Amino acid sequence: MIEVKVTQISEHIWSIKLWLIIPIHVWLVKEKNGITLVDTGVAMMAKGIVKAIERLQAGPLLRIVLTHGHPDHIGGLKRILQSNPVPTYAHSVEIPYMEGELPYRQGKKPVDYVQKGAVQPLGEDERGQLQAIGGLVPFHTPGHSPGHVVFFHKDDQVLLAGDLFSSKNGKLRPPLFTENIEETVRNSSIVGRLRPARVEICHGKPIFNGADQIEDYMIKYLRS
């Protein structure tokens, strides 16, 4: 089994990291009666994620929520669901890309990363706003992918940002391999609105008090 590093980052949240050329992070969120898993990493992380949930002894896996459908975020999904058949959620806009109906990149063929019906849409209210799921509030932040979302844990003041950013030397940076950088950077304004104490990034180190950087970040990368 591939060894993953499990670190508690706040009262209710644990980070699971695998270093594979670059770091890959997923997150466990402790709920009242079990665990929410945010992203599933690559396939080789699946056993380590399941073991981490068991060792946490905080109840069963209740659900999986996905920031988006790129392979490094959903690669472990099939294996995890084999031993833990739980509901899995992503933004409704993202699901056709994950299921192979639409291509992520222009000029490329669609790829079916998940079986049809394996992932269901996150709930929305009558105004189209995404509804809270467990202790997390999702926000639609397209650009890196059409249905990319981030998840905010209000009690812990942690934003699980997926690929909304990368980071370097304590600074926010745009994510790698992004179809629409301008849209991604515009949607990073969510950090200024929410003002999380900690921004967790899939392929980088966390950023603390990211709202203090966000204005300069947006000016720099929207102009470049």
Radius of gyration of the CA atoms of the chain, in A? 16
Token pair 């639409």 is found at 102
Domains and CATH numbers, the chain: 5-163+199-205 (3.60.15.10)
Q: Average pLDDT of 181-210?
A: 97
Residue by residue, DSSP assigns 79-103 as: HHHHHS---EEE-TTTHHHHTTSS-
CA distance 195 to 52: 29
- The model carries a pTM of 0.97
- Name which of 1-5, 57-61, 132-136, 157-161 the model is least confident about: 1-5
In this prediction, residue 223 carries a pLDDT of: 73
- Give how far Cα 205 sits from Cα of 56, 79, 167, Å: 23, 27, 6
Q: Would you call 143 helix, strand, or coil by DSSP?
A: coil
